[in-house]
Each structure stands twice: as C-alpha cells, then as structure tokens.
Amino acid sequence: MLKIETWKLAVVGILCALGIAFAAPNVLDSETAADLPDFMPNKQISLGLDLQGGSHLLLEVEVGVVVKERLEALVDTIRTEMRKERIRYSGLGAAATGVSVTIKDVAQAEKAYDIIRKLDVGYDTDLSDDGRITMNLTELSLKERRIQAVDQSIEIVRRRVDPQGVKEPTITRQGDDRILLQVPGEDDPEKLKKLLGQTAKLTFHLMDEKGSMADALAGRVPPGSMLLPAVDEFDSAGRPRMFLLKKRVSVSGDTLVSASMGFDESTRPAVNFRLDAVGGKKFADITRANLGKPFAIVLDNKVLSAPTIQGIIPGGSGQITSGTFTTESARELALLLSAGALPAPLTVLEERSVGPGLGADSVAAGKIASMLGLALVIIFMAVYYGRFGLFADVALISNMVFIVAMLSAFGATLTLPGIAGIVLTIGMAVDANVLVFERIREELKTGRGVMSAVDNGYKRAFGTIIDANITTLIAATLLFAFGSGPVQGFAVTLAIGIISSMFTAIWVTRIQVVLWLRKTRPATLKI
C-alpha cells in the first residue's frame, strides 16, 4: 500500500486538475464563462425551477383524438377498398372505439369481411348474419396507442421548448395521459402555452372540384371530402373563405425534414420546407399528375394557402406563404414544423409562475448550510485526528470540487433537494477516512510499527468502505429510477458525492499519507 506507482500519481493529478478546470467556470459570471475559448470547460451548474424561478405547466394529452383520427383513416381505407372491389355498402362510419359497415349484398359479406380484417391489426373484427361488419380496437391496442401518444408528445414538447438543448426543462409523465413541464428561467407561461397550443399537423390535399360548394356549406359534405376554413382569406361578410378538399392526405407532414423562415419573391415572410426522399417522391408524383389544379396546404385543419400547381416540383422542397405572416410568426411556424406535429392537442390543467425570490433565498441558505457544515467537519477532523485529520480535510475540499465539476460537466440541474444531497455528502465524505484512521489506531495499540499499522489500516478498512458506499449508491440509484423531480435531484447529487468521496478518501488522502511517511519516517505516530 505504501508503494504507489508513478502512473497512479499521474492519473490522480490529472483527475484533480480536470476537476478544478470543470469547477472553475462556476466562480465566474455567466457571460464571462460563455466567452471562454471552446477548448476550455465553460459549462456552469444549471439551477432548477425551485432555485431560479420559471414556469410550471401540467398538460393533458387528448389521446381520444388519436383514436378518432385512426378510426377516420380506417373508414377512408375501407371506402376505397369497397369501391375498388365493387362491393355495395351502407352505414359506414366510426364510433367511440370502432368502425362498422353493412354490406348490402349478403353474398359479398364474406369477401368484404376478409378484406377488412386484413386492413389493420389491433382490432376485433366480427361479421353478423345480416352482413354487418364491426371492427373494435382491443384493450391492448388502445393502451399502446395512449402510451405512444404521450411518449411522442413528450419528445415534441422537448423539441419545441428547448430546440437548442440549453434550457434544461423537466418533462415527465404524470399518470396515463398527463405531462409535467417545468422550464427554469422562463417567467412567461403564456409564451409556453402559445408554443404548445398548436398541434402543428401539416398536410397537403387536393381540391374536390367535383363536389358542390353550396351543398357543402349547407351541411351536405360529399363522402371522402371535408370543408375547411382559410387562415387569412375572408368573404364580404368577414367570414373565413371555405375550401372543399379531399380527405385523403396527398402528402403528410410526417415526411418533413426541415423548415426555416425565409422570404417569397415579394420579400414577404414565408416558411421554406423540405421533405424526405419518400415525401419528395410523393410530392413530385402529385404535382406531375395534377398540373393546373389547386393544391391546398393545411395546418391544424385550416388552409394556409391553396396555390395552383404550375409545374412538377421535384426534390420535395417548397414554400408556405400567407398574407398574415410576420417575421416572428413565420419563425414560430418554422420552429413548430421542425419540432414535429403533436399526435394530439394538449390541454393545460395547471399553470404556475415561480418567482426567483424564494429560489435566491434557498440558494443563500444552501450556501450558508454548506459552508457551515464544511467548516465544522474540517475543524472536527483537524482537532480529533491531528495531522491525519488535515489530510482528510484536503480530501474533503477536493471532494467538493469534484462534485461541482461533475455537475457542471454532465449538465445536471441543481435543485433544492440537490443542495440537501450535497450537504449530506459533506458529512458522509469523511466516513471512509474515519474508518481508516480508527483502524490504524487499533493496529498501533497492538504494538505494530508505524508503517505496518498504516498499511494494515488501509487494507482492512477497504472492504468496509466499499460495502458501505455501494449500499448507499444502490439506494441512490433506486431513488433516481423510481422517483421523480426533486427526489431525482437529491439522488443525482448523492450518487455523485458517493463516487467522488470514495475516490478522494481512498486515493487523495492515501497519497498525502504515503508522501508524508516517506519524507519523515516517524518512529511513533499520534492519530
């Protein structure tokens, strides 16, 4: 034990230097830290909502909309298949969790049943004697769609709220269909609500030129078509202009690769977009087959524009224009489209704006508690263990530097429970040294020499140190895995503190002891 190889000394020295380098930006102001060269560590610890204030929103995902849209798509598919096979039907429509249709010619019912049953999985399909076919979503399929809708919503919310990945928002699932969103530093909940209020579902539809607009306005919309309002076009009475479009989506916004704010030929704000290879091919095919026909761009069931196809558009690139676009609104729409469409609308159930005042008090109190706890532990170790206590104090200070460095390097968010975890770590960090020092005392009482007592003290205390810290680390891991929010913050700082304290207690203290013993070669030892 008393022989430490040079490479080990070098590794410990390098790790200590890196710890100081990553912790140092936290003593600078944010602007100075951001101006540091790229090759230098410049990340600072992010403060959580409870420390710097921000916005808190509890959102509900309207998963029923996802089911409804899926059933409506199934109705359109069944209509197309029945027409293709020339099967006469009636009563085709969607209910709460299923679709039903009646085949007029009972002799064709079996054929229709086989076709419909193969259209989609996750449905219980049934055929009655009178030719009525029903498809109902199974419980497992409903559950899977709910989970998928919430998971997808969480990811889209993250992209919209933090497109650059620097705000460190907390986004967690609450129950089956709710999302908790906390954005530190954001003091305007209305801005968040506006950002999340649109599903941003972009689709492209052909115009239904055969249907009667008068009938559609009177409530008799042709099957397979839909009546949608324009965003910025109005009639003489001030009502939005209506468009009769085909329900079938010609090109889906799911194929969107990128969107950015730009300008049209008249230098008015616009949104440039690009589709992936699949969407680009569909876009080119649609424009090739429908030259001279209007092609509507629909966002959240409102027509942004309906330009006439002048030529084939290859490559899947295009531009969205609107008379109401401003530079800011075009930029916001580009952000929404780039982040992706929400699978279902979000309803705000609860909103809070947390001011930074309480957080500032908490940070100040946390600093006082940490400094006072650190000072008392340092004094106690120095008084009770003398020179060896000073070695432990150096390791304790190194431990605090490592904790700050790791929180900064990993981009962790520090919360009030996290500060509690750091304060707890201060007391726990000297446990390993106490175990070693007490073991050395026992070895000295048995009559062993100084070198032998120190060697055996470290060797025999090592197993106990590992066991104690691993059990605490397991507890911290479970807290992080099964907890949420503040509990996870406490678990993160506790786990980082445990790992750091094991390193500093076993290596930093040991190196100091070994170097001192090699230099002084004491005949007796007081500890």
Tell me: the pLDDT tens digits for 500-521?
888 888 888 888 988 888 888 8
Higher per-residue confidence, 1 vs 64 = 64
Q: Would you say residue 370 has pLDDT above 60?
A: yes
**β-bridge partners, 263:** 269
Look at residue 157 and tell me whether its pLDDT is greater than 60. yes
SS3 132: strand
Name the token pair of 19: 């710890």
Instruction: Pick 254 or 435 by higher pLDDT.
Output: 435
pLDDT band for position 398 (cuts 50, 70, 90) = very high
* Helix, strand, or coil (residue 359): helix
Tokens of 165: 């990945």
Say yes or no to pLDDT of 53 above 80: no
Are 19 and 401 in contact by the 8 Å Cβ rule? The answer is: yes
Q: Higher-confidence residue: 252 or 470?
A: 470
Phi then psi for 507, rounded to 5 degrees?
-105, -50
d(CA 137, CA 143): 10
Given a cut of 70, is residue 368 above it in pLDDT? yes
Q: What is the pLDDT of residue 167?
A: 61
Looking at residues 23-36, what average pLDDT do you find?
78
pLDDT of residue 357: 56
Residue 446 structure tokens: 């048995």
Banded model confidence at residue 244, pLDDT cuts 50, 70, 90: very high
Spatial strand order in the sheet of 170-174: 170-174, 178-184, 54-61, 346-354
State mean pLDDT over 470-498.
Answer: 83
Least confident of 36-50, 64-78, 281-295: 36-50
- pLDDT exceeds cutoff 80 at 354: no
Res. 474 pLDDT band, cuts 50 70 90: very high
Measured between alpha carbons, how far is 175 from 196 in angstroms, rounded to an integer?
20
Over residues 378-405, mean pLDDT: 91
Burial class, 419, CB count within 10 angstroms (exposed 0-12 / middle 13-18 / buried 19+): buried
Distance of alpha carbon 342 from alpha carbon 344, whole angstroms: 5
187-196 as b/e: b if 16+ CB within 10 A: eebeebeebb
Per-residue model confidence as pLDDT tens digits over 304-347: 888 888 788 787 787 877 766 788 878 877 877 777 777 888 88
Of 371-385, 406-420, 470-484, the range with the lowest mean pLDDT is: 406-420
Q: Kindly state the tokens that stand for 11.
A: 């590794």
How would you classify residue 350: left for phi > 0, otherwise alpha for psi between -120 and 50, otherwise beta? beta
- Looking at the DSSP bridge assignments, the partners of residue 135 are 99, 125
Q: Is 394 a residue whose pLDDT tops 80?
A: yes
Average model confidence (pLDDT) across the chain: 83
Q: Give the per-residue pLDDT at 158.
A: 84
Summarize the confidence of residues 4-11 as an average pLDDT.
Answer: 84
Using CB atoms within 10 A of its CB, is residue 218 exposed (0-12), middle (13-18) or buried (19+)? exposed
Does 1 have pLDDT greater than 60? no
Burial class (CB in 10 A: 0-12, 13-18, 19+), 41: middle
Q: pLDDT tens for residues 249-272? A: 888 877 788 888 888 877 888 888
Enumerate the β-bridge partners of residue 406: none
Q: What angle do CA 28, 33, 34 make, to 5 degrees?
A: 155
Q: Which pLDDT band holds residue 168 (cuts at 50, 70, 90)?
A: low
Report the pLDDT value the prediction gives residue 390, as an integer from 0 to 100: 92
> How many helices, marked H, and strands, marked E, lie in the chain?
17, 19
Residue % of the chain over a pLDDT of 90: 6
Pick the more confident residue, 67 or 324. 67
Structure-token pair, residue 64 = 């029923």
Instruction: List pLDDT tens digits, range 211-236.
Output: 888 888 888 888 888 999 988 788 77
Name the pLDDT band for 359 (thresholds 50, 70, 90): low
- Tell me how far apart the alpha carbons of residues 26 and 452 are, in angstroms, rounded to a whole number: 43
Query: Could you tell me the pLDDT band of residue 369, with boundaries at 50, 70 and 90?
Result: confident
Predicted confidence (pLDDT) per residue in 131-144, tens digit: 899 988 888 888 88
Handedness of CA 490, 491, 494, 499 (dihedral sign): negative
Structural domains of the chain, ranges and CATH numbers in brackets? 6-53+356-520 (1.20.1640.10), 55-62+144-350 (3.30.1360.200), 75-135 (no CATH)
